[in-house]
Homo-oligomer: A and B are copies of this chain.
Amino acid sequence: MNKQELIRQIKEKQTFLCVGLDTDIRKVPQHLLKEADPIFAFNKAIIAATAPYCVAYKPNLAFYESMGVKGWQSFESTVKYLNENYPNHFIIADAKRGDIGNTSQLYARTFFEEMNIDALTVAPYMGEDSVSPFLQYAGKWVILLALTSNKGSQDFQLTADRDGERLFEKVLRKSQAWGNDENMMYVVGATQGKMFADIRKVVPDHFLLVPGIGAQGGSLEEVCRYGMTKDCGLLVNSSRAIIYADSTEAFATTAAAEAKKVAEQMAFILKQNHNG
């Protein structure tokens, strides 16, 4: 999905919510455990219930990989299901990959060509040749880690160099020579608050993928105040607060209600920002 189409989806549906499919077998409602693939059964129900309220889905690969071969089957089934039934939803594989060139090419082929995923999160530590192989596919995206939502983001990402440029700013600046706002986004944690203003000084037009509202405690209002652009420019992710809102047989209905609540806040904010 290209940038124009993503913006169109956001404006049409009045939401920029991304639902994180961090599906953990230990948290799937009891009654689904008798299904052949409980993870996929859970995801299908969550997707069907929340699709009207979001523009994107983001399975985090760690949750699937932790189940080995079975987990990969659940992941592939979920992506296939999304491609076949929800072609207007943006699919992000939250993989945080990043390896030397020949290896990154293999990942790119798998995720973009074979699985038709729209975007892949990538770690910047290894630099340009670990990122650029992912930028060779029209309509596909790299979402580069910039300033993450966790406590450890302070360990290295905030280190300033001799000119006062912090590592996350260097990542934002240098990576603009590798791609552009049509094939790159950045991960910025919702917990970073006012830092969004600093981010927008370096990348005024790029989309940002924002995890960390909900369970991690970031504020949607603050993210939008400092991070929203005229084209919205944000995909705000919520995982646990939506998909695990209810562990009974009514889990999907409750997830829909939670997603709707966030989407209504988003519609309100979009209108305030003349994106309504």
Can you give 7 contacting A-B residue pairs, CB < 8 Å? Answer: A24-B106, A65-B106, A69-B76, A96-B99, A127-B154, A159-B161, A161-B162
Answer whether residue A205 sits at the interface, using C-beta atoms and an 8 A cutoff.
no
Determine if B162 and A106 form an interchain contact, defined as CB atoms under 8 angstroms apart.
no
Determine if A152 and B127 form an interchain contact, defined as CB atoms under 8 angstroms apart.
yes
Question: Could you say which of A66, A101, A160 has the most chain B C-beta atoms within 10 Å of its C-beta?
Answer: A66
Residues from 53 to 111 in A contacting B, C-beta threshold 8 Å:
60, 62-63, 65-69, 72-73, 76, 96-101, 103-104, 106-107, 109-110
Answer whether residue A194 sits at the interface, using C-beta atoms and an 8 A cutoff.
no
A150 — which chain B residues lie within 8 A by C-beta? 100-101, 126-127, 129-130
Answer whether residue A167 sits at the interface, using C-beta atoms and an 8 A cutoff.
yes
A126 — which chain B residues lie within 8 A by C-beta? 123, 145, 148, 150, 152-153
A161 — which chain B residues lie within 8 A by C-beta? 159-162
Answer whether residue A268 sits at the interface, using C-beta atoms and an 8 A cutoff.
no
Closest-by-CB residue of B relative to A60 is: B103
Determine if B66 and A110 form an interchain contact, defined as CB atoms under 8 angstroms apart.
yes
Answer whether residue A192 sits at the interface, using C-beta atoms and an 8 A cutoff.
no
Closest-by-CB residue of B relative to A114 is: B68
Answer whether residue A201 sits at the interface, using C-beta atoms and an 8 A cutoff.
no
Determine if B124 and A125 form an interchain contact, defined as CB atoms under 8 angstroms apart.
yes
Answer whether residue A222 sits at the interface, using C-beta atoms and an 8 A cutoff.
no
A152 — which chain B residues lie within 8 A by C-beta? 100, 126-131
Answer whether residue A219 sits at the interface, using C-beta atoms and an 8 A cutoff.
no
Determine if B127 and A153 form an interchain contact, defined as CB atoms under 8 angstroms apart.
yes
A127 touching B107 in the complex, CB below 8 Å, given contacts A96-B98, A97-B96, A100-B148: no
Distance of A143 from chain B, by nearest CB (Å): 14
Number of this chain's copies in the assembly equals 2
Per-position 1/0 for A144-170, Cβ under 8 A of B: 010011111111110111100001001
What is the CA–CA distance of A159 and B159 in the complex, to the nearest angstrom? 10
A73 touching B65 in the complex, CB below 8 Å, given contacts A98-B123, A100-B150, A124-B125: no
Closest-by-CB residue of B relative to A131 is: B152
A96 — which chain B residues lie within 8 A by C-beta? 97-99, 123
Answer whether residue A8 sits at the interface, using C-beta atoms and an 8 A cutoff.
no
Contact of A159 among B99, B154, B167 (CB under 8 A): B167
Answer whether residue A174 sits at the interface, using C-beta atoms and an 8 A cutoff.
yes
A223 — which chain B residues lie within 8 A by C-beta? none
Determine if B170 and A159 form an interchain contact, defined as CB atoms under 8 angstroms apart.
yes
A60 — which chain B residues lie within 8 A by C-beta? 99, 103
Closest-by-CB residue of B relative to A121 is: B99
A157 — which chain B residues lie within 8 A by C-beta? 125, 127
A101 — which chain B residues lie within 8 A by C-beta? 150
